[in-house]
Amino acid sequence: METLWIICNIVLMLIGIWLLIRMYKQKVSFSKRVFTGLGLGILLGAYLQWVFGPESNVVGVTTDWYSIVGSGYVKLLYMIVIPLIMVSIIQSITNLKKSSELGKMSAWIIGILVATAMIASLVGVATSAMFDLSADQIQAGDAEVERGKVLEERLEGIKDLSTPDKILEFIPSNIFLDMTGDRATSTIAVVLFSALIGLAVLALRRRNPEQAAVFTKGINSVYGVVMRLVAIVLRLTPFGIMGLMANTVAYTDVGGILELGKFVLASYVALAVMFVIHLLLLLFTGLNPLTFVKKVLPVLGFAFTSRSSAGTIPLNVQAQKSNLGVQEGIANMSASFGATIGQNGCAGIYPAMLAVMIAPTVGVDPLSPGFILSLMLIVGISSFGVAGVGGGATFAALIVLSAMNLPVYLAGLLISVEPLIDMGRTAVNVNGAMTSGTITAKVLGKLDNATYNDPNAKEIDSSYNL
């Protein structure tokens, strides 16, 4: 009987895929297909949980098959991240008139990311205080206690790293190893290597224009191939979101959400406030924030379901270029840096909320000016090198809590709602990266205002007619 149910569940997924293919053939917009995939995934996941329960063998086998669609799509995205970053940044820098432009771009992007992460920490403090959150209010079961022990063990491997050590982690010593994503800072390392290659081409152009021209022609050809590959993979986004959301909802711990409902609500209030702050920053630079929201929603939808800032890089870059009119080099750098620096949700809001909750358990006043100022500075520094994948927020929290001399094991109390909150955090991380790219382009005069304001700007998946 179980086998029959599993087959039926797989058929339901195939029906969803057929529906999305039909919408594509009828030329339904990319945004509508993305949110249709999201809705279908929620329905499938809710059906699996309601009919069989998350502990059921039927759900386990069914989600294994669904993972071919969801996790398979994420793997394809990871496959194109490094080629996209390398080729795009090299190609963008070789098109710069002056190498000094690269420094300005980097300074603005990183400055905005770190500054907004520090602002996010203030939002986390204010929200925790408003909801009167405290670690004492949360009951610890066996899973939470075990999670706390794991966090303490994990801290042993990172607490001895000084700030200079963390900076050294950004510098690649073996670029081929970093291309595999071996380290939390691998993405930044690849960005630095690609930028150095681009600068080398600019220097070569002054001494030997012919050699530089040959290299530039070759990189432009490779860029064209890579961008076509990106377009092919991104067209699968609605299917990937459906599979990811179905599995996420199927395993959602409803009991844990009800028990920690106040923390979940406070977290999403903080994330919503930070999202509004992003829009206000755009408004202050003379851009229409509603236009921005409409054009980035599909990207935020994928970030929400995948819980991976790094995996969202290709979508992020394409949305900035095609929909927002951000200059290509800025789009690539902001998406890449934003996946590992200044993550507003994971490195800003979450560690700050934990710090405020845990501080009273050791007799510290979390609302004292000294505590808040220290927290902001530590968040700003520790926001460098946070991995843009699931678990990055935990890494950031470990660094912040240990730097504030607070017990890290209490962070394990939130294990049951961690995936649900991580979805919102990732969406805010990605939105922060796109905001930094858009503002930087506007400030440096690299934003195509006509594209930004054009409601009919081409969809992400229409760069090539396949």
Q: 368: buried, middle or exposed (CB in 10 Å: 19+, 13-18, 0-12)?
A: exposed
CA distance 175 to 140: 43
- Is residue 180's pLDDT more than 90? no
**pLDDT score for 457:** 66
Interaxial angle between packed helices 57-94 and 30-51, expressed in degrees from 0 to 180 and rounded to the nearest 10: 160
Dmax over CA atoms of the chain, in Å, equals: 74
Tokens 């996946």 identify what position? Answer: 339
Summarize pLDDT for 191-234 with one digit per residue, the tens: 889 888 988 988 888 889 899 889 989 988 998 888 888 888 88
- pLDDT category of residue 341 using cuts at 50, 70 and 90: confident
Tokens 């090198």 identify what position? Answer: 385
Q: Domain of 178: which CATH number?
A: 1.10.3860.10
Q: What string of DSSP letters covers 41-60?
A: HHHHHHHHHHHT-TT-HHHH
Token pair listed for 305: 């379901």
Question: Which of 67-71, 187-191, 415-419 bottoms out in mean pLDDT, i.e. has the lowest?
Answer: 415-419
Summarize pLDDT for 269-301 with one digit per residue, the tens: 999 999 999 999 999 999 999 999 999 998 998
- pLDDT category of residue 386 using cuts at 50, 70 and 90: low
- Is residue 416's pLDDT more than 90? no
Q: How far apart are the first and last CA of the chain?
A: 42
By percentage, how much of the chain surpasses pLDDT 90? 36
Nearest residue to 119 via CA among 311, 302, 277: 277
Domain count across the chain: 1
Q: What is the mean pLDDT of residues 295-314?
A: 87
Are 322 and 460 in contact by the 8 Å Cβ rule? The answer is yes
- Is residue 111's pLDDT more than 50? yes
**pLDDT score for 158:** 52
Q: Which residue has the higher pLDDT, 15 or 455?
A: 15
Query: C-alpha 183: how far from its chain's center?
Result: 16
- pLDDT category of residue 255 using cuts at 50, 70 and 90: low
Interaxial angle between packed helices 2-25 and 57-94, expressed in degrees from 0 to 180 and rounded to the nearest 10: 30
**pLDDT score for 97:** 63
Query: C-alpha 148: how far from its chain's center?
Result: 25
CA distance 283 to 296: 16
CA distance 174 to 389: 22
Residue 341's φ and ψ, nearest 5 degrees, are -130, 135
- pLDDT category of residue 387 using cuts at 50, 70 and 90: low
Are 12 and 67 in contact by the 8 Å Cβ rule? The answer is no
By percentage, how much of the chain surpasses pLDDT 70? 84
User: How many residues are present in the chain?
Assistant: 466
Q: What is the mean pLDDT of residues 429-456?
A: 93
Q: Which residue has the higher pLDDT, 218 or 401?
A: 218
Q: What is the mean pLDDT of residues 162-184?
A: 76
Read off the DSSP letter of residue 402. Answer: H
Q: What is the mean pLDDT of residues 40-54?
A: 90
Residue 42's φ and ψ, nearest 5 degrees, are -60, -45
Read off the DSSP letter of residue 348. Answer: I
CA distance 412 to 269: 21
CA distance 260 to 333: 37
Summarize pLDDT for 362-385 with one digit per residue, the tens: 888 889 999 999 999 988 887 776
- pLDDT category of residue 462 using cuts at 50, 70 and 90: very low
Q: What is the mean pLDDT of residues 117-122?
A: 95
What is the span of the domain harbouring residue 267? Answer: 2-462
Token pair listed for 374: 């220290």
Q: What is the mean pLDDT of residues 17-43?
A: 90
**pLDDT score for 161:** 57
- Is residue 252's pLDDT more than 80? no
Q: What is the mean pLDDT of residues 265-272?
A: 94
Q: Which residues pair with 341 in a beta bridge?
A: 384
What value, to the nearest 5°, has the Cα angle with vertex 297 and ends 9 and 424? 70
Q: What is the mean pLDDT of residues 33-43?
A: 91
How big, in percent rounded to 5, are the helix, strand and coil portions of the chain?
75, 0, 20
Are 340 and 334 in contact by the 8 Å Cβ rule? The answer is no
Average pLDDT over all residues of the chain: 83
Are 401 and 358 in contact by the 8 Å Cβ rule? The answer is yes
Q: Which residues pair with 447 in a beta bridge?
A: 326
Q: Which residues pair with 326 in a beta bridge?
A: 447
Interaxial angle between packed helices 30-51 and 237-250, expressed in degrees from 0 to 180 and rounded to the nearest 10: 20
Half-sphere exposure of 272 (CA within 13 A, CB side): 7
Q: Which residue has the higher pLDDT, 415 or 447?
A: 447
